Structure 1
Amino acid sequence: MKAIINGKIILENCVLKDYVLLYDNEIIDLIKKDEFKMFNDVEEVIDAKNNFVSPGFIDLHIHGSGGSDTMDATLDALNNISKSIVKNGVTSFLPTTMTMPKKDIVRAFESIKDAMKRNLEGAKIQGVHMEGPFISKKNKGAQNEKYIIKPDYEFIKSYLDILKIITLAPEEDENLEFIKKMKRHKNIRLSIGHTSATFEVALEAIDEGVSYVTHTFNAMTGLHHRNPGVIGAVFSRDIYCELIADTIHVHKGFFQAFIDINKKDRVVLVTDSMRAGCMKCGKYELGGQKVIVDNKSARLEDGTLAGSILKLNEAIKNIRDNTDYKLNEIVNMASLNQARAIGIDNKLGSIRKGKIADLTIFDKDINIIKTIVNGEIAYEVKTW
């Protein structure tokens, strides 16, 4: 048994002080500080030094980091992403594919399936977010138009066991047949994204089974009072909405209203990070296209945003600094909401007895000090 002492423990509904967190590979209990002296079988004690103890973060939309990309389709690349993002407090993630030739997407699927059977050195893989090729050419964003295709069940049916989220443009799904067919696969979220759908089509798609939104506002029809578009449909229903809170993809002044409208238990903070995440500025690649990265953003040569270089702990800080939401509520937007969205909240997403001990410790500025995966330290600041 191990213990974390002197920490401000972030639970779903509050922040606990003067409690001790007991764990091994799972969370054993939370006890009052003055009761801890009765335990004689604690093997390791971590002094949190009055910093925050949080559930590990979960990134449901990430292409790459640390110089590697999901579409590299190798175990080494996925392991490198895993090691890179655990430094940001991330303990689980969905490697996210791009619109590329079918054979390349299949190779990525196979590499992810293999990696899920192994012990990576950092964050764990929980499945796949398939972003493209079932999207709109009009709102392709940084996806490669050459490889865009109609939604195709035959393409994905061999990978239903690892798919967690599929992004698609419903207007490209004739009679919404793909969406209707996917209804029986309750473990997979259909997400509207990279779409030029009208308000009416988007609303019908949501009512037929779409229950998630890929990087809300970006690469989709916006809100207008006489033409509500995808955003109008999303605001009219109760579904999970991704938010890239880097202050570039969405203006920081709208964070508060966005969360107010969508409800705090439906907002999913994501990074949409590409391989330049945690790397130096320079020229990189995403989906076979050249990307120019400065210290704030990643863009194609024509200026189109190409994912981000956001870290998930930075997203939490940006929401905290620009809204009136409590820290535990914001942490839920980076952990519990994600776990619920992909059906793993019985074991991950919050600090609760019996859940897996995926934890992170951070300071008042949301700088990560330690990250614990399956009860073992996967990252720690050396000088701390």
Structure 2
Amino acid sequence: MKAIINGKIITSNNVLENKILLFNETIEEIIDKNKFNYGQNSNIEIIDAKENYVSPGFIDVHIHGSGGCDTMDAEVEALHRISEVIVKNGVTSFLPTTMTMSKEKIYKALDNVQQCMKLKWKGSRILGTHLEGPFISEKYKGAQKEDFIIKPEYDFIEKYKEIIKIITLAPEKDLNLNFVREIKEKTNINLSIGHSDATYEEAMEAIDAGLDSATHLFNAMSPLHHRKPGIISAVFNSDIYCELIADTIHINPAIYQILVRIKGLDKLILITDSMRAGCLKDGVSELGGQKVIVQNNSARLEDGTLAGSILTLNRAVRNFKEHTDIKIYEAVNMASLNPAKYLKIDDKTGSIEIGKTADITIFDDAFDIKRTIINGQTAYEK
């Protein structure tokens, strides 16, 4: 048994003080500190939070890479490196995210994710994968390569339907929404609208057919216009989830509060969309075989197109909190409970509750991570 003392415990709807968190692999109990007898519990490992926040671990459902490695490297060492780097940012689990490349390269990356899910290591846990493309729009391809864009095909993903948790697609490319309907009928995969030029009507039809989120809202999609409402309006006019890259570059932070008011607190999911240059110094990097310039906290292709981000999830939570009037536990939910609910694993993780997996991170007022615990074991300590 382990005990975290002297911490401000962030639950899904409150911040608890003068409490002690007891856990093994799962969270066992939260008790008043004056009821904890140190003499009688001498066999318990004590972790002193030193008045910092004790938070559920973060879940990144959209991350390509970090620390010099990328999901598309398709190597065990690459995913291991990513997991070791992001655990230092409070991330306890993640979805390595693919991108639009050749079928062979995508399959190689998916095979690697499948293999790594079976391995035990100290870093962040892999929950599955996010397939971003190749079923996207040429017009809003962003930093993805047009050469490998194809129409949605169920046969393309069938072999990997158990490990794919999210597919980003442009529904206007899906004739009669046959792909969407087949995915919803035969799998548990979440479908997300993104890199898309869909009209408002096409987006709403796709949502009615089963699309349940929007990939990095506002970025790489048809914009909101008062005569052409586009995807943004469909997201606003429905109850689907939406990902946000809260680096203050991809979206002006003035939008954050607007989103809170329109979408509500439980439908916003903070992501990093980080590429391999995440957590590295400025310089030249690569994404999908394309040169990327990293400087001034952004990653861009040579033509200026944003190429993912170098954001960390703890900074995303901090940024969103600083630019809105929400409470700290509400901001944390956007990187923990909300993604867990979206992936339908909130019965096991995503919040500090008795019986849930002990995926915990401890951070200070600046959201700097002091310790990350996965399955009850310390995976990172500063």
Q: Does the TM-score normalized on the shorter chain lie above 0.5?
A: yes
Corresponding residue for residue 138 of structure 1: 139
Corresponding residue for residue 338 of structure 1: 339
Q: Deviations over 1:62-118 (max 9, x none)?
A: 000000000000110000000000000000000000100000000000000000000
**SS class of match (2:350):** coil
Corresponding residue for residue 12 of structure 2: 12
Q: Which runs of 5+ in 2 are unaligned?
A: none
Corresponding residue for residue 199 of structure 1: 200
In the TM superposition, what are the counterparts of 1:261-340 in structure 2 within 5 Å?
Answer: 261-340=262-341
Return the letter of the residue paired with 2:254.
G
4+ runs of 1 displaced by more than 3 Å?
Answer: none
Kindly indicate whether the alpha-carbon contact (under 8 Å) linking 1:217 and 1:231 is maintained by their aligned counterparts in 2: yes
Aligned counterparts of 1:262 and 1:118: Cα–Cα separation in 2: 38
Aligned counterparts of 1:74 and 1:140: Cα–Cα separation in 2: 25
Aligned counterparts of 1:361 and 1:187: Cα–Cα separation in 2: 32
Cα drift, residue 226 of structure 1: 1.3
Kindly indicate whether the alpha-carbon contact (under 8 Å) linking 2:275 and 2:308 is maintained by their aligned counterparts in 1: yes
Return the letter of the residue paired with 1:2.
K
Cα drift, residue 259 of structure 1: 1.9
Q: Is 2:27 aligned against 1:27?
A: yes
Kindly indicate whether the alpha-carbon contact (under 8 Å) linking 1:25 and 1:374 is maintained by their aligned counterparts in 2: yes
Compare 372-381 and 53-62 and name the one that shifted more.
372-381
Return the letter of the residue paired with 1:3.
A
Q: Which runs of 5+ in 1 are unaligned?
A: none
Kindly indicate whether the alpha-carbon contact (under 8 Å) linking 1:3 and 1:42 is maintained by their aligned counterparts in 2: no
Corresponding residue for residue 231 of structure 1: 232
Q: Deviations over 1:206-240 (max 9, x none)?
A: 00000011000000011111110000111000011
Aligned counterparts of 1:213 and 1:41: Cα–Cα separation in 2: 50
Aligned counterparts of 1:30 and 1:185: Cα–Cα separation in 2: 41
Kindly indicate whether the alpha-carbon contact (under 8 Å) linking 2:161 and 2:187 is maintained by their aligned counterparts in 1: no
Cα drift, residue 188 of structure 1: 1.0
**SS class of match (1:25):** coil
Aligned counterparts of 1:186 and 1:332: Cα–Cα separation in 2: 27
TM-score by length of 1: 0.98
Aligned counterparts of 2:360 and 2:188: Cα–Cα separation in 1: 25
Return the letter of the residue paired with 1:26.
T
Corresponding residue for residue 163 of structure 2: 162
Cα drift, residue 121 of structure 1: 2.5
Cα drift, residue 185 of structure 1: 4.2
Return the letter of the residue paired with 1:30.
I
Calculate percent identity across the aligned residue pairs.
Answer: 60
Number of equivalences: 381
Aligned counterparts of 2:141 and 2:28: Cα–Cα separation in 1: 47
Aligned counterparts of 1:199 and 1:276: Cα–Cα separation in 2: 35
**SS class of match (2:36):** helix
Aligned counterparts of 2:161 and 2:48: Cα–Cα separation in 1: 43
Aligned counterparts of 2:249 and 2:282: Cα–Cα separation in 1: 17
**SS class of match (1:93):** strand
Kindly indicate whether the alpha-carbon contact (under 8 Å) linking 1:166 and 1:189 is maintained by their aligned counterparts in 2: yes
TM-score by length of 2: 0.99
Aligned counterparts of 1:82 and 1:50: Cα–Cα separation in 2: 27
Q: Deviations over 1:251-288 (max 9, x none)?
A: 01111001221111010000000000000111111111
Q: Is 2:53 aligned against 1:52?
A: yes
Q: Is 2:231 aligned against 1:255?
A: no
Q: Is 2:360 aligned against 1:359?
A: yes
**SS class of match (1:210):** coil
Q: Is 2:241 aligned against 1:240?
A: yes
Cα drift, residue 320 of structure 1: 1.1
Kindly indicate whether the alpha-carbon contact (under 8 Å) linking 1:27 and 1:357 is maintained by their aligned counterparts in 2: yes
Corresponding residue for residue 208 of structure 1: 209
RMSD over equivalenced CA pairs, Å: 0.9
Aligned counterparts of 1:334 and 1:128: Cα–Cα separation in 2: 17
Cα drift, residue 186 of structure 1: 5.3
Aligned counterparts of 1:347 and 1:376: Cα–Cα separation in 2: 16
Compare 33-42 and 156-165 and name the one that shifted more.
33-42
Aligned counterparts of 2:262 and 2:170: Cα–Cα separation in 1: 23
Corresponding residue for residue 108 of structure 1: 109
Aligned counterparts of 2:81 and 2:75: Cα–Cα separation in 1: 10
**SS class of match (1:320):** helix
Q: Deviations over 1:190-210 (max 9, x none)?
A: 000000000000000000000
Compare 228-237 and 41-50 and name the one that shifted more.
41-50
**SS class of match (2:304):** coil
Q: Deviations over 1:93-149 (max 9, x none)?
A: 000001000000000000000000001221000000000000000100000000000
**SS class of match (1:19):** strand
